Amino acid sequence: MLYSLRAKTAALALAVVLTGCTTNVGQKEAFGTLGGAALGGWAGSQIGDGRGQLAAVGAGTLAGALIGREIGVSLDRADRLYMQRTTHQALEYRPSGHTVAWHNPQSGHGGQITPHRAYQRYDGHYCREFQNEIWVGGRLERGYGTACRGPDGSWRIQ
């Protein structure tokens, strides 16, 4: 019982310390870090007893914080809507090589898409190659792909 209380207290303390290290991050990232640390610490507290349990709480808290942070940094629903609208506009209306940018002022995330070659597939669907760049959590992610227009007029990445 005493080790269990210590383990839970240690998990909470480590979660608070880890969140305190994230002063220049967004709310989603901080929430993800704290939530992941708490869940990881709780999971660690369910393993073994004594000093082994305390070590499991520490490891679980740290792993949970790292995983939770990555989830918090990723694009949220609003970011994806900005990106989808811009992608549709670029693929549908922009000539090859003309870049269109998007930015979500609430999250600070943004990116751009550059449509390239358009062609008609063997089955009659129109497709376009494209390049995109997305800024998330201060990191640039680049991608290249092909999207084809579906029967409903929407573009689907292949």
3-state SS string over 32-70? HHHHHHHHHHHHHHCCCCHHHHHHHHHHHHHHHHHHHHH
Would you state the pLDDT for residue 119? 96
Mean per-residue pLDDT for 70-77? 66
- Tell me what pLDDT residue 89 has: 95
DSSP 47: S
- Render pLDDT for 17-51 as a digit per residue (tens, 0 to 9): 444 444 444 555 555 565 556 666 656 666 656 66
Q: What are the residues whose beta carbons fall under 8 Å from the beta carbon of 105, sequence distance 6 or more?
A: none
User: How much is the average pLDDT of 7-16?
Assistant: 45
Domain boundary assignment for the chain? 2-73, 77-157
- Asked if residue 19 lies in contact with residue 33, where contact means CB atoms within 8 angstroms, the answer is yes
What is the C-alpha to C-alpha distance for residues 60 and 67, in angstroms, rounded to an integer? 10
pTM above 0.75, yes or no: no
pLDDT at position 107 is 87
Stretch 72-80: mean pLDDT: 76
